[in-house]
Amino acid sequence: VLVTAAVALPALAWLAPRLLDVRAAALLLVAAALAPVLGGDDRTGFTRTARTAFGLLWIPVALTGLVTLGDTGVAVGLAVALGDVGAWCGGTALGRRGPLARPLSPLSPNKTWAGVLGAAVATALLLLVLGEFTFPLWAAVVGGCVLGDLLESMVKRESGVKDAGSWLPGFGGLLDRIDSLLVALLLTMVMT
């Protein structure tokens, strides 16, 4: 369901954007429940449905932003990529001691307020250079940088895995590369 939706929703956003409305949301919910309901899963069916529904919102719906946001979607993608670098630099340079060294969440103790500051500065600079800076867009990008990483950490911890995948050596998998982008796209669609 997730793979099909990850291809179909951005394609619909490109080819027939008028079809993406509350009806599409209703179909996603039904699709998320289909396998557990038809399989008669009375033990974990609701949990499976809820996870699939969340995944549908988190991944395919967010990917439609790459289509519907146009040039702003490209700016968001570039800003998020630089925001990850800025977070690492900020965390490394300022996150050793002091108030900025405090962890953001127990989900990922190495992510600190210093990293948030680094991401905020890096994303602001890039959006200014691209001529795309607005406060709502910047807030959406910074929020995506922070919440995307923590969201993926939560999913990985509950699943009991260190990485979301192994086919992209040196990284935590493909989801690790796009986790912040997905949330930033969702927030950008809301904020702009």
- Say yes or no: 5 and 100 in one domain: no
Domain boundary among 45, 67, 89: 67
- Say yes or no: 47 and 79 in one domain: no
**pLDDT tens digit sequence for 18-76:** 888 878 888 888 999 999 999 999 999 999 999 999 988 888 989 999 999 999 999 99
pLDDT of residue 165: 63
- Say yes or no: 86 and 152 in one domain: yes
Residues for the chain: how many in total? 192
- Say yes or no: 144 and 191 in one domain: yes
- Say yes or no: 27 and 86 in one domain: no
Domain boundary among 18, 34, 67: 67
Residue 84's domain spans which residues?
A: 69-192
**pLDDT tens digit sequence for 86-144:** 999 999 998 778 888 888 888 888 889 999 999 999 999 999 999 999 999 999 999 99
- Say yes or no: 85 and 95 in one domain: yes
- Say yes or no: 58 and 83 in one domain: no
- Say yes or no: 80 and 42 in one domain: no
Q: How far, in Å, CA of 55 to CA of 32, rounded?
A: 9
How many domains in the chain? Answer: 2
Q: How far, in Å, CA of 46 to CA of 22, rounded?
A: 22
Check residues 156 and 191 and name the one with the higher pLDDT. 191
- Say yes or no: 110 and 177 in one domain: yes
- Say yes or no: 78 and 173 in one domain: yes
pLDDT of residue 168 exceeding 80? no
- Say yes or no: 73 and 168 in one domain: yes
Yes or no: say if 73 and 83 are a contact pair by the CB < 8 Å rule: no
- One DSSP character per residue, the chain reads -HHHHHHHHHHHHHH-GGG-SHHHHHHHHHHHHHHHHHTT-TTTHHHHHHHHHHHHIIIIIHHHHHHHTTHHHHHHHHHHHHHHHHHHHHHHHH-SSSGGGSBS-TT-TT-BHHHHHHHHHHHHHHHHHTT---HHHHHHHHHHHHHHHHHHHHHHHHHT-S-S-SSSTTTT-HHHHHHHHHHHHHHHHHH-
pLDDT of residue 158: 84
- Say yes or no: 91 and 183 in one domain: yes
